[in-house]
Amino acid sequence: MDKDTGKSLEYRHLIKMPKYKHIWNDSMSNEIGRLAQDNSSVKGTETMFFITYENIPLNRTKDVTYARIVVDYRPQKQEKEQD
């Protein structure tokens, strides 16, 4: 929820707003880094791998989907937002 407007915002909205862009871009980078093969801030778990469209087997192209990014502020998390 945006404290100023009271509106519920999705990730796609947050990254377009100057006051939230840095925080949520960093958070998303860390989350993808955790799921993939690291980033400069976190250790990866190699849970997911990125491949090019050309490397998708022809019999699996209809199984490909996209991510729906859902965000939530969780103050109890160890990783805190940084300015």
The end-to-end CA distance of the chain, in Å, is 20
DSSP-based helix, strand, coil % in the chain, nearest 5: 35, 0, 65
0.75 surpassed by pTM: no
pLDDT at 9: 87
The whole-number average pLDDT for the span 30-47 is: 92
Instruction: Look up tokens 């955790």; give the residue.
Output: 34
pLDDT band at 34 (very low <50, low <70, confident <90, very high): very high
pLDDT at 82: 58
pLDDT band at 80 (very low <50, low <70, confident <90, very high): low
